[in-house]
Amino acid sequence: MTERWRQYWFAPASPRPLAVCRILFFGALFLFYWPTDFAAWAHVSNVFLQPIWLFTRLHLTAVPREWLATMQVVWRAALVFSCVGLFTRASTLVAFTLGVYILGLPNNFGTEFHYDTLVLMTLGILAIARSGDDWSLDRVLRAWRRDPGRIAPVEWSGEYTWPIKFVQLVMALIFFAAGVAKIRHGGLAWITSNTMGIMLVQQQYHVANADPLTRLGLTIAAHPWLCSILAASTMTFETIYPLALISARARAVIVPSVFLMQVGIRVVLGPTFGQYLICNLFWVPWDRVLRVSDARLRRRHDSTAGVVSAGISEGLPVFSDAPPRSRAQ
Amino acid sequence: MNEAVPLAIGGRVRPMARHRVWLVNAVVGLIVMGSMYDIVRDTDHWPFSNYPMYSELQLSPTLTVLRLFGVTDDASPGEFALLEERVIQPFDQARLTAALSGMAYAPERREQLTPALRDIMARYEQLRRAGRHSRPPLRAVRLYRLFWTLDPLALNVDRPDRKQLLFEVSASPTEGHLHD
């Protein structure tokens, strides 16, 4: 059992998939939150203030607008630095620490929303991970100081396995919770009643944080059997989401299905789950994607150079750092 | 403390330090326990939660919501719903409705409606003057409870069955008016 646990979390892996996740996650986060002015919350009257559990426990209070604006600038800079891998340990730590306040703050006003919880936990995971060991400016600078012109390959380690698995686990816990909540509060009637149909129509009346992108929900609502299928699929996929952690077959079905479900929610119901969609990048098998990219590049290079079977393509960018198959297995 | 965990399986593998393994195990345990606590107890401790969104049964094709309306500062004042995020930011419709519901439905918090609505009206005007929206100046803000019988094609979105005025504040520095 201990060995299986250790193999699951800490089996040695290439640093590259984690580096790709770091670049894409922080880059996407920076772009996603760019239009949001968190400093505006400093203007909101304290009569709206209903401190959340975390702010109460940490004794966090409202800060003046100037402070909040400065924190926001530093936070955005930390996201960029984390993306490019510059001072990665410090920048990911700052991104998380300030993220607790900046992402948590709006939830003290009126009600708690959970759009940012996955992002915050992922920031926390990356703050303690060694995500800047590869494809980072830190690595380039380190190599340049030691031996200019030569960047040595990074050793494989369990350090590059657990962060990805951890984000996947957090996602599984969140969707499992959502599935359990539907079973607990609605039960089988959540599927068999017209709950889904009624919700689809209600959302057209400007009740969510954003209006549905289309009126397709009304068409679906007109077909109770379709609503029941949607409700059953939603409840099932959410509840069994943890299976994706341990079964490759389940993962291949559940993860894309729930991804599409969240896209569908935006289209027919309205609520915006952009942050969750971004975090799906932790499910992408980047090692395989990079290997395929390498192979394609080599084939293209070989064919254009007229080389039939070159073992090594000199001068080509190499994305994957996979060792020979015998060792990788 | 820094003893290596025997995970190395090849020449290019760097074993993890034992304290790092313990750190990760501890954080995994913390997150799992925090999540499971809220799932089992059906509670919410942000960023942990039971994620109850959309989990309640909807058996009646009706809708009741609180909604803010702005009263224009014209010779013949008109009303329009404050729906768009750019006129109520940093709130959005869902968060604002939840915030106002907390005050309107809790007798001990009702007195907060006056400063709350006045705050929304002041920010509306600030945003208007800053050119962030082009809606007209307001004379007052009204909080209504709206009732709908849902239309399958949502054709009555702008025509609720009933519109009950709950509260009103005007731009003049007088107290808000409670309408029960």
Q: Check CB contact under 8 Å for B47 and A120.
A: yes
Q: Calculate how close chain A gets to B60, using CA atoms only, in Å.
A: 8
Predicted pLDDT at A151: 73
Sign of the dihedral through C-alpha B93, B94, B96, B98? positive
B79 touches chain A (CB under 8 A): no
Contacts 24+ apart (CB under 8 A), A293-297: A293/A319, A293/A320, A294/A318, A294/A319, A294/A320
Provide CB contacts within 8 A for B143, sequence distance 6+: B66, B67, B68, B69, B100, B104, B113, B117, B165, B166, B167, B168
Cβ within 8 Å, pair B10-A323: yes
pLDDT score recorded for residue B74: 85
State whether residue B60 sits within 8 Å of chain A by CB: yes
CA distances from B12 to A15, A148, A291, B32 (A): 12, 22, 18, 32
Q: Residue A140: its pLDDT value, please? A: 92
Q: Which residue type occupies A34? A: W
Mean pLDDT, residues A87-107 taken together: 97
- Provide the pLDDT for residue A310: 42
Contact between residue B32 and residue A169 where contact means Cβ atoms under 8 Å apart: yes
Query: What's the mean pLDDT in A70-80?
Result: 98
* Residues in CB range of A259: below 8 A, 6 or more apart: A277, A280
What is the predicted pLDDT for the residue at B180?
52
CB contact under 8 Å between B51 and A114, yes or no, is yes
**pLDDT tens by residue, A255-279:** 999 999 999 999 999 999 999 999 9
The rounded mean pLDDT for chain A is 91
Residue among A37, A45, A190 minimizing CB distance to B119:
A45
Residues of A in contact with B5 (CB under 8 A): 6, 10, 158
Question: Which CA distances in Å does B118 have to B112, B122, B150?
Answer: 10, 6, 32
Q: Which pTM does this prediction carry?
A: 0.90
Q: Do A12 and B8 touch (CB under 8 A)?
A: yes
The Cα–Cα gap between A191 and A227 comes to 8
pLDDT in tens, A192-232: 999 999 999 999 999 998 999 999 999 999 999 999 999 99
Taking an 8 Å cut-off on Cβ atoms, the answer to whether B49 and A112 are in contact is yes
Give me the residue spans of the domains in chain B: 1-56, 62-178
Q: Are B133 and B86 in contact (CB under 8 A)?
A: yes
Predicted local distance difference test score (pLDDT) of residue A316: 55
Question: Are B8 and A208 an interchain contact pair (Cβ–Cβ within 8 Å)?
Answer: no
Report the residue from A121, A156, A176 with minimal CB separation from B12.
A156
- How confident is the model over A99-116, as a mean pLDDT? 94
Q: How far apart are CA A216 and CA A213, in angstroms?
A: 9
Considering only alpha carbons, which residue of chain B is nearest residue A165? B28
The pair of structure tokens assigned to B116 is 């709350």
Please check whether residue A23 is in contact with residue A80, taking contact to mean a CB–CB distance below 8 angstroms: no
Pairwise CA distance, residues A297 & A272, whole Å: 37
* Residue B107 CA neighbour count, 13 Å, CB half: 1
**A150 pLDDT higher than 50:** yes
What is the pairing mode between strands B162-170 and B138-149?
antiparallel
Strands (E), chain B: 62-72, 79-81, 138-149, 162-170, 177-178
The pLDDT tens digits for B5-49 are: 444 444 588 899 999 999 999 999 999 999 999 999 999 999 999
Distance to chain A for B10, nearest Cα, Å:
7
Alpha carbon of A245: minimum distance to chain B alpha carbons (Å):
14
The alpha carbon torsion through A222, B160, B67, A204 (nearest 10 deg) reads 20
The minimum CA-CA distance between A232 and chain B, rounded to whole Å, is: 13
Please report which confidence band the pLDDT of residue B173 belongs to, taking 50, 70 and 90 as the band edges: low
CB B176 within 8 A of CB B121: no
- From chain A, pick out residues whose CB is under 8 angstroms from the CB of B81: 206
In order of A173, A220, A229, B23, B79, the CA distances from A255 in angstroms are: 13, 23, 18, 28, 46
Cα B8-A158-A176 angle, rounded to 5 deg: 140
| Cβ–Cβ below 8 Å for B97 and A186 | no
- Which strand (E) or helix (H) includes residue A138? helix A137-146
pLDDT of residue B10: 45
Does the beta carbon of B130 lie under 8 angstroms from any beta carbon of chain A?
Answer: no
Token pair, residue A308, equals 């039939």
Give the Å distances, CA to CA, from B162 to A198, B144, B158.
19, 10, 11
- Interface membership of B83 toward A (CB under 8 Å): yes
Interior angle at CA A233, CA A232 and CA A235, nearest 5: 65
pLDDT tens figures, B144-155:
999 999 999 999
Greatest Cα pair distance in chain B: 84
A297/A263: higher pLDDT: A263
Judged by phi (left if over 0) then psi (alpha if -120 to 50, else beta), residue B42 lies in left
**Judged by CB atoms within 8 Å, which residues 156-175 of B form the interface with A?**
157
Does A146 score more than 90 pLDDT? no
The string of pLDDT tens digits covering residues B110-126 is: 899 999 999 999 999 99
B26 touching A (Cβ < 8 Å): no
- Is the Cβ of B86 closer than 8 Å to some Cβ of chain A? no
Contacts of B93 in chain A (CB under 8 A): 206-209
Whether B55 has its CB under 8 Å from any CB of chain A: the answer is yes
| A198 neighbourhood in chain B, CB within 8 Å | 58-61, 150
**What tokens were used for B117?**
């609505």
Whole-angstrom CA distances from B10 to A75, A154, A237, B19 are: 39, 13, 38, 22
Q: What letter represents residue A214's amino acid?
A: T
Contact B31 A50 (CB under 8 A): no
A329 pLDDT more than 50? no
Q: What distance in Å separates residue B116's CA from the closest CA in chain A? A: 6
Q: Which pair of structure tokens corresponds to residue A77?
A: 């800079």
pLDDT at A311: 43
Helix (H, G, I), strand (E, B) or coil at B167: strand
Q: What is the pLDDT of residues B66-99, one digit of tens each?
A: 999 999 988 888 999 999 999 999 999 999 999 9
Contact across the interface for B57 and A193, Cβ inside 8 Å: yes
Burial code of B123-162, b = ≥16 C-beta within 10 A, e = fewer?
bbeebbeeeeeebeebebbbbbbbebebeeebeeeeebee
Residue B123 token pair: 């920010």
Of B46, B51, B115, the CB nearest to A45: B115
Instruction: Give B22's contacts (C-beta < 8 A, 6+ positions apart).
Output: none
| Coil, helix or strand at residue A52 | coil
Residue A309 has pLDDT above 60, yes or no: no
Over 70: is that where the pLDDT of A325 sits? no
Confidence of residue A301 (pLDDT cuts 50, 70, 90): confident
Q: Is B111 on the interface with A (CB under 8 A)?
A: no
- The pLDDT mean for chain B works out to 89
Of A42, A70, A120, give the one whose Cα is nearest residue B89. Answer: A42
Lowest mean pLDDT among A31-45, A286-300, A302-316, B19-33: A302-316
- The Cα angle at residue A136 between residues A132 and A139, in degrees rounded to 5: 85
pLDDT of residue B2: 39
pLDDT tens, residue by residue, A164-177: 999 999 999 999 99
